[in-house]
Amino acid sequence: MAELEYLDRITKVISQIRDTQKDKLEKAAQQFAKSIQSGGRVYMFGSGHSVIPVLDIFPRYGSFIGFYPIYDPRLMWSNVVGPGGARELLWLEQREGYAKVILSSYNLKPNDSLLVFSHGGLNAAPIEMGIEAKKSGVTIVSVSSHANYRHAKPKHSTGKQLADVSDIAIDNCVPSEDALIAADGIPEKFAAGSTVASVSIAMTLVAETGRLLVQAGKRPSTFVSPNVGLAPDHNEQVFREYMRNVFRDIE
């Protein structure tokens, strides 16, 4: 059955990530812990479907302050066609110069990090996020398909792909086409792999960063499920601390 085949295929992808990307994952987590310990931030960005792992990092039960999502609703779909539709965001994320406008609302500092998700790693939005953030001394970590990097031609005017502008480039170990399951008689495949792979990488980074912070004596302010029995106002305290950190740059 196709659904069982998908589970087999995606399990192999996760195993490949564990076996081949371990050193990069550890290095990225060390960098993120260093940023947070020093009072910096770990910003996160993705467009289109690659916003899903960003949404899943923070605010999310089991994650903590130190991670700061960069959202742009124009690069996220709220419709299929028409306003907020996929056609429009697919056009916009390929336009050069837009990422600089987004980042003008963020006060990036040299002790910050930026985690960028993009399966293809070819569009202007994720590439220029890395290029522009580097100008502020930010460490860039990317998650993309390195199979696509090897086989696809660059689209950006610099001739660079996302991995080229990254200090740590993590491979999501998913094929270029993303979809994993073939059916006899048709060329198209079904069931994407990049979302499961990227969210798995994201949670690995959250877990390892949190562990390193605790080892260093810094207890993260963690957003938790109300089912765990902590103080009723625990998450409200997390929100207040997040707000204080967000507004610290406002003069």
pLDDT band at 162 (very low <50, low <70, confident <90, very high): very high
Residue 23 clears pLDDT 70, i.e. is over it: yes
Residues of the chain with pLDDT > 70, as a percent, come to 97
Contact (Cβ atoms closer than 8 angstroms) between residue 69 and residue 44: yes
Mean pLDDT for the stretch of residues 199-221? 97
Report the SS3 class of residue 214.
helix
Among 11, 29, 242, CA closest to 141: 29
Report the SS3 class of residue 45.
strand
What count of other Cβ atoms lies within 10 Å of the Cβ of residue 2?
A: 12
Q: Which domains does the chain have, with CATH numbers?
A: 2-249 (3.40.50.10490)
* CA–CA dist 158, 250 (Å, integer): 34
pLDDT, tens digit (0-9, with 9 covering 90-100), for 178-195? 999 998 889 999 999 999
Cis omega (within 30 of 0) on the bond before 59?
yes
Contact (Cβ atoms closer than 8 angstroms) between residue 108 and residue 133: yes
Which residues lie closer than 8 Å to 88 by C-beta, 6 or more apart? 74
Tokens read off for 7: 């589970």
pLDDT band at 251 (very low <50, low <70, confident <90, very high): low
